Amino acid sequence: MVERDWIGATDQAAGLRRLFGRRNARVIAFVASTAAGERSALLSTTATALAGAGRRVVVVDELGGDSGLVGAFGLKPQADLFDVLTGQRAIGEAVMMAGSNLRLASAVRAARELESGEVGLRQQLDAVLRTLCENADFVLIDASLRRSRLSQLTLAAPDMVLALNADSEAIKRAYALLKRSVRERGRDGYHLAVRHPGGERAARGVFDTIQAVARQHLDLGLGYLGHVSAARGALAEAFASHLPPLPGTCAIDPQVPLPAAFSALREPFQSVV
């Protein structure tokens, strides 16, 4: 039996994804049924490999602390994206260089405040995300879960990657996370990456099992990103070979201007490109 969405969930998810509509960048949220540190390590390797291949990468860190990407790269944020949303800082102050083609931004407070329903930030969020996307090939979100819910930033991402280890408890957590995510963001853009000591064939078997259950009970199709291996540059290779191409051109709609308060966002941001 297929489990139906909560009322209004599909409309909410569609509205959120319009925040990222017609962008230059591929926007991907990373969630995991494994420990946050393991996912962050995977994301770090992926981002570094993409940057090393000449792709412009922005990583948005919702976790912070020892588990987050900002700390893993030895950086200390001077501002959070929330400070940009509220007009206290320019976006160039919140984006940090971590290497050639690789920039990081802390969104710990932004994820928390948006999840709690901070009023009046939707238009500002659109402006900030638009600016990040205009200056990147990939925007990778290291997603947090608060009270078992995804952040508004994560829900806005057209693609969601779920990374899991191939043990029974991780698989159960992965299914539970998929179930919650379908309710909150709809059924599009889900991709699984599996880490299995038995290699590609064993990892594919785990994916096929989860896919069958997800189709039967959630009416959900999943994309397969393959067996995760740090030696292969984590998911960088999988993104190139398995993710479907972005449709058409990705130009920003000129009929949707940036708010006046953000008209100067691009100039400070260009200084860290």
Q: Which residues contact 199 (CB under 8 A, 6 or more apart)?
A: 227
Does residue 8 belong to any structural domain of this protein?
no
Does residue 19 belong to any structural domain of this protein?
no
The whole domain housing 89 covers 26-243
Does residue 265 belong to any structural domain of this protein?
no
Q: Which pLDDT value is given to residue 210? A: 93
Of the given ranges (77-81, 165-169, 198-202, 245-249), which has the lowest mean pLDDT?
Answer: 245-249
The two tokens of residue 176 are 């539970």
Q: Which pLDDT value is given to residue 245? A: 65
Q: Which residues contact 233 (CB under 8 A, 6 or more apart)?
A: 45, 46, 49
pLDDT exceeds cutoff 50 at 249: no
Q: Which CATH number fits the domain that encloses residue 148?
A: 3.40.50.300
Does residue 189 belong to any structural domain of this protein?
yes
The Cα–Cα gap between 138 and 47 comes to 9
| 14-23, 66-75, 122-131, 242-251, range with greatest mean pLDDT | 66-75
Q: Which pLDDT value is given to residue 216? A: 94
Top-confidence residue, 32 or 166: 166
Does residue 146 belong to any structural domain of this protein?
yes
Q: Which pLDDT value is given to residue 98? A: 92
Does residue 104 belong to any structural domain of this protein?
yes
Q: Which pLDDT value is given to residue 18? A: 47
Specify the number of domains making up the chain.
Answer: 1
The CA-CA-CA angle for residues 155, 253, 9, to 5°, reads 25
Mean pLDDT of 64-88: 88
Does residue 133 belong to any structural domain of this protein?
yes
Q: Is the pTM of this model over 0.85?
A: no
Percent of the chain with pLDDT over 70: 72
Does residue 231 belong to any structural domain of this protein?
yes
Mean pLDDT of 54-61: 92
Taking residue 122's Cβ as centre, other Cβ atoms within 10 Å add up to: 15
pLDDT class of 120 with cuts at 50, 70, 90: low
